[in-house]
Amino acid sequence: MIRQMALLDWKAIKCFYLRIFLIPVISLAAGFITALLVVPTNVFMFLFFSINTFAVEEKSDLNKLYLTLPIKRSSVVGGRYALSICMGLAGLITGIPLAILADRFTFSHYYGSVLWFLPVVTISYLLFSLFNLCMFPILFKLGYCKGKFWGMFVPLALFEVLYIAWTIISSLPGNEYLLFNALEYASKNIFLVNGSIILVSTLILLFSFMLSKKLYSNREF
């Protein structure tokens, strides 16, 4: 049932399909500073795109339709999360070639080893999980119209603040090698660093799902 709900959500947002092509443009723009920012940005933008399911759901009043069908509310939540995870994977897969392309024109070229890129991937997963927790439970509890400020605009603003903060910090004198030192440490402690990030990210995503399921099950329509 979860698979069917995910497919139903995907078909429901077909009017937004063309907006997907804007995501690579945004991700490449982030790559002007460093190509290492492309993958996290791409993953976040694909996650943000998946919020369109909430907008379509509310506009078409799909919640009341679901209640008339033999569909459990947990399946609705599961399908929404399954689609968001698929979108996150799409962001990850497409982000890697975009990062390689961005490295051709970025201000700070990437000369590290392949092992340096692994923590970038796991941190992208952490970013995905954190912002999923910031957005999805609120939207499941309040709906799109009532929850879009806290469940969409605030996380987007937070993402922009983090991006600007990192850009400023990494450009300060003495911090030129801050990122590279961190990546070098991660490459020497692959299982400890990346394993810890993956574990924490998975727990956050699981908590987000359980919270959303609880909030949506108690929501009145």
Task: Name the nearest CA neighbour of 111 among 164, 30, 183, 194.
Answer: 183
**CA–CA gap between residue 56 and residue 98 (Å, rounded):** 29
pLDDT tens by residue, 56-81: 988 887 777 777 777 788 898 999 99
**CA–CA gap between residue 115 and residue 101 (Å, rounded):** 19
Name the more confident of 17 and 36.
Answer: 17
**What pLDDT shows up at residue 79?**
93
Q: How confident is the model at residue 125 (pLDDT cuts 50, 70, 90)?
A: very high
**What pLDDT shows up at residue 12?**
87
pTM of the model: 0.88
| Sequence-separated (6 or more) residues with CB below 8 Å from residue 118 | 186, 187, 190, 194
Task: Name the nearest CA neighbour of 83 among 154, 12, 28, 141.
Answer: 12
Name the more confident of 88 and 182.
Answer: 88
**CA–CA gap between residue 150 and residue 131 (Å, rounded):** 12
Q: How confident is the model at residue 174 (pLDDT cuts 50, 70, 90)?
A: low
Mean pLDDT of the chain: 86
User: Which residue has tokens 């609880």?
Assistant: 214
Rounded mean pLDDT, 99-106:
81
| Sequence-separated (6 or more) residues with CB below 8 Å from residue 119 | 182, 183, 186, 187, 193, 194, 197
Rounded mean pLDDT, 170-197:
76
